[in-house]
A and B are shown apart, each in its own frame.
Chain A
Amino acid sequence: GAVVSQHPSWVICKSGTSVKIECRSLDFQATTMFWYRQFPKQSLMLMATSNEGSKATYEQGVEKDKFLINHASLTLSTLTVTSAHPEDSSFYICSARDVGVTSGGPLETQYFGPGTRLLVL
């Protein structure tokens, strides 16, 4: 199946710094990517929907200025955690939407990246 990569896989930073996480679709183009946050032993919480060439759509309660999303190309979306604080420590997962063509019509599948673990000290 299609592959989605994330970089870095681990990041440790000091409080107050900004951290950028990249999400790439390696063998398909994705006009839509999604960013999730997962706390230990909890489910995924959708943070925002990233659309290539336009502004991201944020979920209620997610600060746009805190979590900056850029989707500048069909294979890359970035999430920047600005002025990170210890409460931002979490596992961040992206997914990319692939729409394939089949005899039965378009087939959409979301492929998930391996995640980025952020620890803010």
Chain B
Amino acid sequence: GNSVTQMEGPVTLSEEAFLTINCTYTATGYPSLFWYVQYPGEGLQLLLKATKADDKGSNKGFEATYRKETTSFHLEKGSVQVSDSAVYFCALQETSGSRLTFGEGTQLTVNP
């Protein structure tokens, strides 16, 4: 079946540091890939997505590239801010309209 594996957290960085959160997936077909962010006490917000190989999703300074050869969708940001502190979830969707499969989530804390 489908699965998503994220790097273990928590991740603690200083403001303006470079961020990478690794995400790899297993799927039978060619899924769409997503990154969601969850701020404390809130639901999930879509951060970015990519629907096919080599696509790059980007939003709010975050980027992730769909790498089919390595089955990865690593999240990066060049300079994190305190306001980026949240839990980040990688997810895949095998076909349009189907269920989302989430990774375990990675807690990011950015200190001033």
Are A114 and B42 in contact, with the CB atoms below 8 A?
Answer: yes
Are A34 and B99 in contact, with the CB atoms below 8 A?
Answer: yes
Are A112 and B43 in contact, with the CB atoms below 8 A?
Answer: yes
A106 on interface, CB distance cutoff 8 Å: yes
B89 on interface, CB distance cutoff 8 Å: yes
Q: Which residues of B77-108 are within 8 A (CB) of A? A: 89, 96-97, 99-100, 102-105, 107
Q: How far is the CA of A41 from the CA of B36 in the complex (A)?
A: 15
Count of chain A to chain B residue pairs whose CB atoms are closer than 8 Å in the complex = 46
Are B105 and A42 in contact, with the CB atoms below 8 A?
Answer: yes
A46 on interface, CB distance cutoff 8 Å: yes
Are A112 and B44 in contact, with the CB atoms below 8 A?
Answer: yes
Q: How far is the CA of A49 from the CA of B97 in the complex (A)?
A: 11
Are B89 and A44 in contact, with the CB atoms below 8 A?
Answer: yes
Are A97 and B97 in contact, with the CB atoms below 8 A?
Answer: yes
The residue of chain B having its C-beta at the shortest distance from the C-beta of A106 within the complex is B96
> Can you report 19 residue pairs joining A to B where beta carbons are below 8 Å apart?
A1-B46, A4-B43, A34-B100, A41-B105, A41-B107, A42-B105, A44-B44, A44-B89, A44-B102, A46-B100, A95-B100, A108-B96, A108-B97, A109-B46, A112-B36, A112-B46, A115-B41, A115-B43, A117-B41
Task: Give residues in A with beta carbon < 8 Å to B.
Answer: 1, 4, 6, 32, 34, 41-44, 46, 49, 93, 95, 97, 99, 106, 108-115, 117
